[in-house]
Structures are given as structure tokens and as C-alpha cells.
Structure 1
Amino acid sequence: MSTSERLIESTRELLWERGYVGTSPKAIQQRAGAGQGSMYHHFSGKPELALAAIRRSADRRTALAEEQFSLPGTAVERVAAYLRRERDVLKGCPIGRLTQDPEVVADPELRRPVAETFEHLRGRLTEVLAEGQAKGELDPALDPAATAATVVAVLQGGYVLARAADSTEPFEQAAEGAIALLAARAVA
């Protein structure tokens, strides 16, 4: 892995663990095994490096979601696969956690990939649910956009509940509850 890649990955991990303020250039350099000169050779400073790291996390979340959304099966099965996929629940969502970081939220450049990730997820879920309706799998009265927003909110809320309880159980309950509600709207 190149020095710039190590710096991005180290920043990505630290942002997930500590947030923006808690991620110092020194901590990034130590985790990456890179010196200050290397860091500033590749990036103008912490904001540029953080943006690259946030984009990397966003791209990974989007790709992981797309794996489940592209699976064969009904809309409910694909959404269920998305909600049930393996996650490090107790660490929280690497993108969702950034919404609680005042420095990220206050900076339009850092906030943009976070907002775009959630917009993309809601959009793809809306498409999957609309496809399910078009195929006659789901109740035609179901609002795909509102349901997609609900699924994303349940997922993010599940992370919060799990972290508060220091247990994956609340996350799993939230995901299974959302799946049951969707399944109840399936057309037999």
C-alpha cells in the first residue's frame, strides 16, 4: 500500500473511531507509519486528507449496499439482505457517526459526501421497492420513497441503540422489525 493510501486508510479508521476533532495529524501519521513530510507531500492538510477518507468510507458503504440491492430475489429479500449483512454494529456506521461530528457538519465540503451517501442509499432503496411494486410483489399503496427513508432511519437508529446498550441485540431487533413490516406489505 502506498503512503498516500496508508494515510487515507488510517484517517478513515480514526474518523470512525474518534471523529474529526479526535483525529490529529500526529495520530494519522503514527497509524499510517508516515512522517509529517510525507503527509504534507500528498495532502495540503488534515481537511483534504479527511475529505479523501470520508469519500473512501462513503464509496465502501455504497458498494456494500449495492451488493445486496443487486442480488436476485424479491424486493423484500434484497432489502432484508441489506439489513442483515455483516456489520461492526458496536462501532456504529462510519458515515452515520460523522453526522454527529460538529466539525464535519459545519464544513460543507466534509458534509457533502456524507449527505450524498445517505441520498444515494435512500434513492437505491426507493428503486428496489418501486421495482417490487412494478413486479406485483409489494402493495401498490406503499410509498417507496417514504419506506426507503424509514429503512435508512431504522438502520442508523439501530446503530445508536446497539451502542447505547453495548449489545448488537437492539440493532438486530430493529432490522428484523423493519423486515417484518416490509414483509407485511408483500402481495401474496
Structure 2
Amino acid sequence: MSTQERLVESARALLWERGYVGTSPKAIQQHAGAGQGSMYHHFAGKRELALAAIRRTAEQLRATADAQLSAPGTAAQRITRYLRRERDVQRGCPIGRLTQDPDVMADPVLREPVEQTFDWLHTRLAEVLATGRDEGELDPGLDPRATAAMIVAVLQGGYVLARAAGEDDPFDQAVTGVLALLTRPAPTR
């Protein structure tokens, strides 16, 4: 791995763990095993390196989610696969955690990839849900956009509840609950 890659990967790990303010250039350099000159050779400063790290995290999250949401199966199977995938629940979502970082949210440039990732996820889930509804798999009255927003909110809230409890169970319960709502039979009229 090149020095530039080590710096980006180190910034990603530290941003997830410590947030923007808690991640100093020196900590990134130490984590990457790179000198100050190397960091400033590749990046103008902490903000530029943080932006590269946030963008990389966002790209990887989108790629992982898209692979699960595009795989064969029904809409419910694809969404279940996405929600039940292996994840480090106690660490939370690396993009979701950035929304709690006031310095990231106050900086439009750093905030942009966070917003774009959530917008992408919302849109992608809505597409899968609309397909399921249109193919008769899901309730014909289902609102794909509203349901996608609920899924994203449950996922992010599940992380918060699990971190607060110090165990994964609240996350698992939240996912189980949203999947039960999504796949329940439509009421007969």
C-alpha cells in the first residue's frame, strides 16, 4: 500500500473512531507510519485528507449496499440481505457517525459526501421497494420513498440504541421489526 493509501485508510479509521476534531494530523501520520512531509506532499492539510477519507468510506458503503440490493431475489430478500449483512454494530455506521460531528456538518465540503451517501441509499432503497410493489410482492399502497426513509432511520437508530446499550440486540430488534412491517401481508378489504 502506498503512503497516500495508508494515510487515507488511517484517516478513515480514526475519523470513525474519534471524529474530525479528535483526529489530529499527527495521529493520522503515526497510524499510517508516515512522516509529516509525506502527508503534506499528498494532501494540503487535514481537511483535504479527511475529505478523501470520507469520500472513500462513502464509495465503499455504496458499493457494499448496491451489491446486496442488486443481487438476485425479491425486493424483501434483497433488503433483508442488506439489513442483515455482517457489520460492526457497536462501532456504528462510519457515515452515520459523521452526522454527529459538528465540525463535519458545519463544513459544506466535508458534509457533501455524507449527504450524497444518504441520498443515494434512500433513492436506491426506494427503487427496490417500488419494484417489489409494482411486481405485486409488496403492499400495493406502499410508498417507496417514505418506506425507504423509514428503513434508513431504523438502521441508523438501531446503531445508536446498540451503542447506548453496549450490545447488538437493540439493533437486531430494530431490523427484525422493520422487516416484519415490510413483509407483512397486505390487509384484505
TM-score tier by shorter-chain length is over 0.9
Task: Tell me the CA shift for residue 13 of structure 1.
Answer: 0.3
Alignment RMSD = 1.2
C-alpha distance 131-186 of structure 1, shift in aligned 2 (>3 A): farther
The answer (yes or no) to whether the contact 1:142–1:185 under 8 Å persists in 2 is: no
How many residues align? The count is: 188
Letter in 2 for 1:49: L
Tell me the TM-score normalized by structure 2: 0.97
Letter in 2 for 1:72: P
- In structure 1, list runs of 5 or more residues that go unmatched: none
Query: For residues 94-140 of structure 1, what are the alpha-carbon distances to aligned partners after superposition, in whole Å with 9 as ceiling and x for unaligned?
Result: 00000000000000000000000000000000000001111111111
Letter in 2 for 1:61: L
| Structure 1 residues 7-18: aligned runs within 5 Å | 7-18=7-18
| Structure 1 residues 119-138: aligned runs within 5 Å | 119-138=119-138
The answer (yes or no) to whether the contact 1:3–1:34 under 8 Å persists in 2 is: yes
Distance in 2, Cα, partners of 1:88 & 1:139: 32
| Structure 1 residues 52-131: aligned runs within 5 Å | 52-131=52-131
C-alpha distance 55-163 of structure 1, shift in aligned 2 (>3 A): same
C-alpha distance 140-4 of structure 1, shift in aligned 2 (>3 A): same
Is 149-158 or 59-68 further displaced after alignment?
Answer: 59-68
The answer (yes or no) to whether the contact 1:133–1:140 under 8 Å persists in 2 is: yes
Aligned partner of 2:139 in structure 1 is 139
Distance in 2, Cα, partners of 1:178 & 1:80: 10
Distance in 1, Cα, partners of 2:84 & 2:185: 19
Task: Tell me the CA shift for residue 67 of structure 1.
Answer: 1.4
Task: Tell me the CA shift for residue 185 of structure 1.
Answer: 4.8
Q: Percent identity?
A: 70
Detail structure 1 runs of 4+ shifted over 2 Å in the superposition.
none
Letter in 2 for 1:124: R
- In structure 2, list runs of 5 or more residues that go unmatched: none
The answer (yes or no) to whether the contact 1:137–1:186 under 8 Å persists in 2 is: no
